[in-house]
């Protein structure tokens, strides 16, 4: 039990550290993001993450390109590297599809 709590604490610490690093990432532009009129948008991508930035302002990020996504662009765009979320691939969250 203590070992599992220790692992959880380390994973939370790693997530906080990764979130701090992403604030310095550049914003992704039209060279990377492509307009999409399907469910294949940044928000449904395996690489999409969101973090609480300075003053709890949400930062939308692409882990694949290590870049920030402007608010709203995550709903209307995708990149060439779009990959279906692992949870959807395995069917763990059918209500999200």
Give the model's pLDDT for residue 1.
Answer: 47
Decide which of 79 and 5 is more confident. 79
Q: What is the pLDDT of residues 3-56, one digit of tens each?
A: 555 555 555 455 555 555 889 999 999 999 999 999 999 999 999 999 998 888
The total number of structural domains that make up the chain: 1
The whole-angstrom separation of Cα 45 and Cα 35 is: 14
Contact 42, 69 (CB under 8 A): yes
Contact 50, 35 (CB under 8 A): no
Taking Cα atoms as reference points, which of 82, 58, 79, 80 lies closest to residue 70? 58
Judge whether residue 70 has pLDDT over 70.
Answer: yes
Give the model's pLDDT for residue 20.
Answer: 59
Judge whether residue 59 has pLDDT over 80.
Answer: yes
For 13, the domain range is 2-96
């Amino acid at each position: 039990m203590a070992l599992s709590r220790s692992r959880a604490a380390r994973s939370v610490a790693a997530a906080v550290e990764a979130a701090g690093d992403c604030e310095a990432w550049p914003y992704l532009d039209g060279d990377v993001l492509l307009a999409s009129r399907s469910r294949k948008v940044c928000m449904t991508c395996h690489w999409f993450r969101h973090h609480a930035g300075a003053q709890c302002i949400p930062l939308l990020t692409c882990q694949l390109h290590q870049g920030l996504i402007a608010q709203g662009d995550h709903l209307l765009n995708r990149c060439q590297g779009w990959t279906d979320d692992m949870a959807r691939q395995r069917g763990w969250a059918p209500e999200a599809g």
